[in-house]
Chain A
Amino acid sequence: MKINTKVLGEIEIDERQVFDFPGGLLGLPELTRFALIDSGHPPYFYLQSLCEPYLSFALISPEIFHPDYRLDVEESELLSLEMESGKDTELLVFVIVNFNDAPLVTANLQGPLVFNKETGKGCQCVSRNPEYKTRHDVIGEMNALKKKGEGKC
């Protein structure tokens, strides 16, 4: 299907890229349908609202700069993903990136986005881990990680 977007123009997406967010995003409950789009520029993905063409977000996997990132959320928060009970479901976890403090690139580890590819459902959760904040310096933390790695060798 073709969709119109402000940032990417008119693009073609597959049904499998479409995710329902029954609860919307926090503070933006009306945004209940999104497309998850590989940007072609790793490690970025786009999250494009299908309700509002001008609303898109950049996402990355938190593991890029937090290799031990854990989705520490209340189980009830994942209800809307409609996971089958008693079955392991592979969930995609992304965090929203903010470029508006350039040259700083920050990521929101406190409000991760979770996608269930099997049901096409997604949600934004709130992490219980007090170390996860809304503005982590991605490049700074990646450099610190590299340094730590070098120290070990």
Chain B
Amino acid sequence: MLILSRRKNESIIIDDHIRLTVVDVCGETVKIGIAAPLSVQIFRSEVYDAVKKANIDSVMEGKNLPPIL
């Protein structure tokens, strides 16, 4: 993993078109501004991981559909 040190208001450019800016640092919390094209999907990693895990866990094993109505 690449590790870079940045101060408040400093940025990192990724792939020519994504700019991450450290907007604020307060104790253990860092506020990050992200400027990216609309087509770039951005998620909090815990949310992304939860939905990804749910997708993989939900692959059907058989065709039985338990009645719920």
Residues of A within 8 A of B (CB): 7-8, 23, 25-28, 39, 41-44, 46, 55-58, 60, 64, 76-77, 79-80, 96-100, 102-103, 105, 108, 110-111, 124, 126, 133-135, 138-139, 142
> Do residues A110 and B69 form an inter-chain contact, with CB atoms below 8 A?
no
Nearest-neighbour CB distance to chain A for B61, whole angstroms, equals 7
Of the candidates B51, B57, B63, B67, the one whose C-beta lies within 8 Å of that of A7 is B63
Residues of B with C-beta under 8 A to A96: 54-55, 58
> Do residues A134 and B50 form an inter-chain contact, with CB atoms below 8 A?
yes
Nearest-neighbour CB distance to chain A for B34, whole angstroms, equals 12
> Do residues B69 and A42 form an inter-chain contact, with CB atoms below 8 A?
yes
Q: How far is the CA of A48 from the CA of B58 in the complex (A)?
A: 12
> Do residues B38 and A26 form an inter-chain contact, with CB atoms below 8 A?
no
Of the candidates B58, B63, B69, the one whose C-beta lies within 8 Å of that of A8 is B63
Q: How far is the CA of A25 from the CA of B68 in the complex (A)?
A: 25
Instruction: Select from chain B the residue with minimum beta-carbon distance to A135.
Output: B54
Q: List B residues 40-69 near A (Cβ within 8 Å).
A: 41, 43, 47-48, 50-69
> Do residues B68 and A98 form an inter-chain contact, with CB atoms below 8 A?
no
Residues of A with C-beta under 8 A to B29: none
**Is B39 interfacial (CB-CB < 8 Å)?**
yes
Residues of A with C-beta under 8 A to B65: 39, 41, 44, 58, 99
Given contacts A7-B60, A108-B51, contact A142 B39 (CB under 8 A): no
Residues of B with C-beta under 8 A to A139: 68
> Do residues B57 and A98 form an inter-chain contact, with CB atoms below 8 A?
yes
Interface core residue of A8, A27, A100 (most chain B CB under 10 Å): A27
Q: How far is the CA of A46 from the CA of B58 in the complex (A)?
A: 12
Q: How far is the CA of A64 from the CA of B48 in the complex (A)?
A: 25
Residues of B with C-beta under 8 A to A57: 55, 58-60
